[in-house]
Amino acid sequence: MAKTTQIGSLKGDGPIHGAPTGIFEDLYHYLVTSSWPALIGLIAAAFTFANLLFATGYYFDQGIENAHSGSFADMFFFSVQTMATIGYGKMEPVTLFSNILVSIEALTGLLALALMTGLVFSKFSRPTARVRFTRYVAIGPRDGVNSLMIRAANQRANRIVEANIHVVLARQEVTVEGDSIRRLYDLEVTRSRSAMFALSWTAVHRIEEGSPLFGATPESLAKDEVELVVALKSGGRSIPTEKALDCVYGYAVGIDLTRRDLQIASRDIKRPWEVGKAFDHSAPCGPLKPASEIGHPAKGRITLKVNGKMRQDGDLNQMIWNVPEIISKLSEMVELAPGDIIMTGTPSGVAATIAGDKIECEVEGVGKLDVTIGPPLK
């Protein structure tokens, strides 16, 4: 029987993140796109703060007739009546300062009312199509051809006329110059337009020759990371940083592979991610070089090439935590033992690999490691 495989998560209602901005850098957009409870809460907070501010001015002037002497509450509620243009007629300003303050507050109230009216109207009239996407993108047979399928449903009791769907694959890649960039690939779907989207719609991309996904499998959609590997000859708990290198037997070149499909699936159901790291052949390692021969490398070029193209290029001195610090910190959490292998860290440029990719890794002064990504295990 043909099998359909879940390969990742797709959340239709998730936020879209661009350059991080503060609330006040684009306040209108923030207010229009915020939830109704958040918007009402912000309006109430701004209304209260403004009245407290004006009430403070009235309180220090004591120029409001019929207000209780020294009563800040009377000043506050007089401010509310003035800003809302209610005017019960019980309290009124009698000094020049209070009359000026009332005039400013009345203008503020009129402007605020106009702004809030426009804001609420914009939020009510903002067009939104309530479309729910499936949690997982799936790959499976469709009409005899392996295809990527994305299912969507119209959440409203209406019909979306002339609906269009455009599927794009984002992939992190490294240019021939060694720059890590994100490339976008258009995935052609068998039907990109629906004259009437009333219930559900499955967008199907056939994975044939010419498709960016051709030749890929869930097992091969793994991220490759070249790392410095540290092998221990002794261990212990709470090892001081200054004595950590005494525990090191030697070093090697290693590759830390990640099954993103398993990692994302585990994350979505709130389970541990270890399965995305602990699969067969997930951490190939080159020959160990004793520290007595090569010393303890603290700097040196670390590179990874895929099919001859540079993907990662960094230096050991760029590591956030050096080897002694890593050993010391790890020993605070678990007891280290002779023979333990520690994968340290990786430069930028992590990206996906597929079956047949040839990976060449090198750490200056430590060694090289060449591997080829094989087909999925049966």
Least confident of 32-46, 95-109, 205-219, 358-372: 205-219
Q: Which two tokens stand for residue 368?
A: 């090289």
- Model confidence pLDDT, tens digit, residues 298-345: 889 999 888 888 888 889 888 888 899 999 999 998 899 898 989 887
In contact, 147 and 204? CB cutoff 8 Å: yes
* Cα→Cα distances 11→16, 96, 152, 295, Å: 11, 60, 11, 49
pLDDT at 13: 42
DSSP secondary structure, 37-57, as one string: HHHHHHHHHHHHHHHHHHHHH
Sign of CA dihedral 140, 142, 147, 149: negative
* Cα 281 to Cα 261: distance, rounded to the nearest angstrom: 16
Looking at residue 78, its pLDDT comes to 92
In the predicted structure, residue 12 carries a pLDDT above the cut 50: no
Nearest alpha carbon to residue 83 among 56, 55, 64, 62 = 55
Average pLDDT over residues 241-261: 88
Looking at residue 74, what is its pLDDT? 92
- Enumerate helices (H) and strands (E) in the chain, giving the number of each: 7, 22
DSSP type of residue 241: G
Q: Which residue has the tokens 């991220």?
A: 223
Indicate the average pLDDT of the chain: 82
Q: What digits encode the pLDDT tens for the residues 105-151?
A: 999 999 999 998 998 888 888 766 677 877 777 888 888 888 888 88
Q: How confident is the model at residue 207 (pLDDT cuts 50, 70, 90)?
A: confident
> Rounded to whole angstroms, how far apart are CA atoms 78 and 56?
11
Q: What is the pLDDT of residue 202?
A: 86
Task: Name the packing angle between helices 36-61 and 96-125 (round to 10°).
Answer: 180
Give the pLDDT confidence score for residue 217 in this predicted structure: 61
pLDDT of 11 > 60? The answer is no
% pLDDT > 70, the chain: 86
Closest C-alpha among 352, 372, 351, 359 to residue 217: 352
* pLDDT score of 17: 46
- Retrieve residue 115's tokens: 């702004």
At 169 the pLDDT is 80
Q: Which H helix or E strand runs over 368? A: strand 367-372
> Which of the two residues, 279 and 239, has the higher pLDDT score?
239
Look up residue 203 and give its two tokens: 């967008």
Question: CA-CA distance, 350 to 224, in Å (whole number)?
Answer: 6
Q: What angle do CA 311, 315, 320 make, to 5 degrees?
A: 105
C-alpha span between 250 and 231 (Å, rounded): 5
> What pLDDT does residue 376 have?
67
pLDDT band at 7 (very low <50, low <70, confident <90, very high): very low
172 confidence band (pLDDT: 50, 70, 90): low
What is the predicted pLDDT for the residue at 5?
47
Residue 75, pLDDT > 80, answer: yes
**Band of pLDDT at residue 221, cut at 50, 70 and 90:** low
pLDDT band at 9 (very low <50, low <70, confident <90, very high): very low
* Confidence (pLDDT) at 76: 94
Domain annotation for the chain: domains and CATH numbers: 23-125 (1.10.287.70), 130-206 (2.60.40.1400), 222-372 (3.90.850.10)
The DSSP code sequence of 318-359 is: G-SS-HHHHHHHHHHHS-B-TT-EEE----S--EEE-TT-EE
